[in-house]
Amino acid sequence: MLVSEIKRLIVSIISILRRFFWKNFVRARALLSPRPGDTTTTTTTTTLERQPEEHHDDATAISDCDKTKMEDGIRLPCFNRAGHVAHAKRCMSALPASQTDIDASRLALAFYNIGILDLLGVMNDGDTISRQNGKDEWLEWLWAQQTQGKYGSGFRPSPFMLLHPPAAKEESSDYDTPHIIMTYTALLALSILRDDFAKLDRSGLIRLLRACQRDDGSFTTTPGGGESDLRTLYCAFAISAMLDDWSGVDVERAKSFVTSCRTYEGGYGQDLFCEAQGGTTYIALASLYLAPSSSETDPLTLEEKRQTVKWLMSTQTSSGGFCGRTGKVGDSCYCFWCGASLKILKMDHLVETKTLASFLADSQFKFGGIAKCPGEHPDPYHTYLSIAALCMYPPSPLAADEKPDSWEFPELDPLLNARVDTAEWARKYISGKGHRT
């Protein structure tokens, strides 16, 4: 009896497994089968000088024929500018429960939210900033995060949890050290608020950068410790560029570290032997092109540039969004990281802007904010980077679009990741040149 019961159980399990695998086989075959009118090609470019209509890439990229069809069929909804402004203001006063785990990086959150208002044109709109957006209060809070100690000066991630901040005395700031990434975001946030940087300790910033650079050329986030990879190196380069002073950085050693992170695909990993990723590819390219020597010699050879462009183009998916790594799905933040990389390489004409805008439109949350992809919850990080991507790749409006003027955006500086006028302010006043004219 027991043997027969076991046999029946085995037969039932086999039957269930057969149905399961057959169902998924049919589904996979349907997905992989070519659709009517599908003209996707795997032909690749041979030179960077080709025009957009001549560019084709591998199967994960959108072919030009498909781009034309997709663009013709796309009608954009209204870009929810008022909702995104409201989302930023809400997050500036209190974080939703889903975001409380990043409370320790309040300075970066402040930059993203202030940046959203800047990109949407409401931050410096007459008296709006003083009356509604609390310019004076934000300036006071940002400067309260500047900390000074024996390793130099910069900005910490968030307030120290004591009644009296230890930054008030230099000797007690040794355990409340500045953070390079937060210093970069603080400088941009202050530039958005049009601060004159009279309080900036420039020599202390130089000492901080010098204290954080390691023997391999990379930088730690804080003096003497913390993570060290391409992210911090980029922030060190951006700070030096805004200061117009590279004396705190061994540039050649740092560039050597960037080169060591390059992968066989043409992208860049976060560290040595890491997989190529859209975000780290952006910071690698931005670092190389921010370096003072880039004005004399292109940091990449023609073949290196061709390979990088080929990989970047393979990350724009059929949804219109960009993915961060090979084989992944579209994510709104990579629309900036990969899009800005192509902009830096002057290959931005290869991006399909209308499908990109459509993907970001679908990622909007009905009450404001933009999520990583359609159906997810929004956050300031993805909202800011999505709008930054649209500043570089605004869609060509059609009469059939709902409120085409809602898709108009200011120009963005891809190297510093800020509006052009904000980047110009940063370079002028952080360097101190604005006080000498």
What is the SS3 assignment for the chain?
A: CHHHHHHHHHHHHHHHHHHHHHHHHHHHHHHHCCCCCCCCCCCCCCCCCCCHHHCCCCCCCCCHHHHHHHHHCCCCCCCCHHHHHHHHHHHHHCCCHHHHHHHHHHHHHHHHHHHHHHHCCCCCCCCHHHHCCCHHHHHHHHHHCEEEECCEEEECCCCCCCCCCHHHCHHHHCCCCCCHHHHHHHHHHHHHCCCCCCCCCHHHHHHHHHHHECCCCCEEEECCEEEEEHHHHHHHHHHHHHHCCCCCCCHHHHHHHHHHCECCCCCECCCCCCCCCHHHHHHHHHHHHHCHHHHCCCCCCHHHHHHHHHHHHCCECCCCCECCCCCCCCCHHHHHHHHHHHHHCCCHHHCCHHHHHHHHHHCECCCCCEECCCCCCECHHHHHHHHHHHHHCCCCCCCCCCCHHHHCCCCEECCCCEEHHHHHHHHHHHCCHHHCC
Least-confidence region, from 85-94, 157-166, 300-309: 157-166
Mean pLDDT along residues 300-321: 97
Mind listing the pLDDT tens digit for each residue in 402-432? 888 899 999 999 999 999 999 999 999 999 9
Which CATH architecture is the domain 79-160+176-435 placed in? Alpha/alpha barrel (1.50)
CA proximity to 164, closest of 152, 176, 151, 180: 176
Q: Is residue 236 over pLDDT 90?
A: yes
110 in Cβ contact with 88 (< 8 Å):
no
Query: Could you tell me the two tokens for 187?
Result: 């400088």
Mind listing the pLDDT tens digit for each residue in 10-39? 656 665 555 555 445 434 444 444 433 443
Mind listing the pLDDT tens digit for each residue in 53-110? 333 333 333 333 334 334 556 889 999 999 999 999 999 888 777 777 777 788 999 9
Distance separating alpha carbons of residues 160 and 42, to the nearest angstrom: 54
Distance separating alpha carbons of residues 428 and 410, to the nearest angstrom: 20
Query: Could you tell me the two tokens for 256?
Result: 């050597």
Per-residue pLDDT band for 139 (boundaries 50, 70, 90) equals very high
Per-residue pLDDT, 4: 59
Residue boundaries of the structural domains of the chain: 79-160+176-435
Q: Is residue 155 over pLDDT 90?
A: yes
Per-residue pLDDT, 53: 34
Distance separating alpha carbons of residues 112 and 382, to the nearest angstrom: 9
Per-residue pLDDT band for 41 (boundaries 50, 70, 90) equals very low
What residues are paired with 219 via a beta bridge? Answer: 213, 229
Q: Which amino acid is at 422?
A: T
56 in Cβ contact with 44 (< 8 Å):
yes
For a pLDDT cut of 90, what percent of the chain falls above it?
63
Distance separating the N- and C-terminal Cα atoms of the chain: 98
Mean pLDDT along residues 119-125: 84
- The pTM (predicted TM-score) of the whole model is 0.81
Distance separating alpha carbons of residues 340 and 417, to the nearest angstrom: 9
Q: Is residue 174 over pLDDT 50?
A: yes
Mean pLDDT along residues 172-190: 88
Q: Is residue 214 over pLDDT 60?
A: yes
CA proximity to 414, closest of 351, 329, 323: 351
What residues are paired with 8 via a beta bridge? Answer: none
Q: Is residue 303 over pLDDT 50?
A: yes
The residue with tokens 């000074």 is 148
Angle between helix 278-290 and 302-313 (nearest 10): 150
Distance separating alpha carbons of residues 349 and 45, to the nearest angstrom: 14
Per-residue pLDDT, 30: 40
Distance separating alpha carbons of residues 30 and 19, to the nearest angstrom: 17
CA-to-CA dists, residue 16 to 21, 23, 27, 28, 221, angstroms: 9, 11, 17, 18, 54
Per-residue pLDDT, 72: 54
Per-residue pLDDT, 101: 76
Angle between helix 230-243 and 278-290 (nearest 10): 30
Distance separating alpha carbons of residues 118 and 39, to the nearest angstrom: 41
Mean pLDDT along residues 330-344: 98
The set of residues, in sequence order, having a beta carbon less than 8 Å from that of 114 and lying 6+ positions away, is 88, 92, 123, 138, 189, 192, 193
Least-confidence region, from 82-96, 147-161, 375-389: 147-161
Per-residue pLDDT, 21: 53
Per-residue pLDDT, 3: 57
Mean pLDDT along residues 305-323: 97
CA-to-CA dists, residue 408 to 113, 117, 236, 405, angstroms: 19, 14, 32, 6
Phi, psi of 15 (to 5 degrees): -65, -45
Distance separating alpha carbons of residues 423 and 429, to the nearest angstrom: 10
Q: Which amino acid is at 162?
A: L
Q: Is residue 6 over pLDDT 80?
A: no
Per-residue pLDDT, 281: 98
Q: Return mean pLDDT, the chain.
A: 83
Query: Could you tell me the two tokens for 336?
Result: 């900036």
Q: Is residue 255 over pLDDT 50?
A: yes
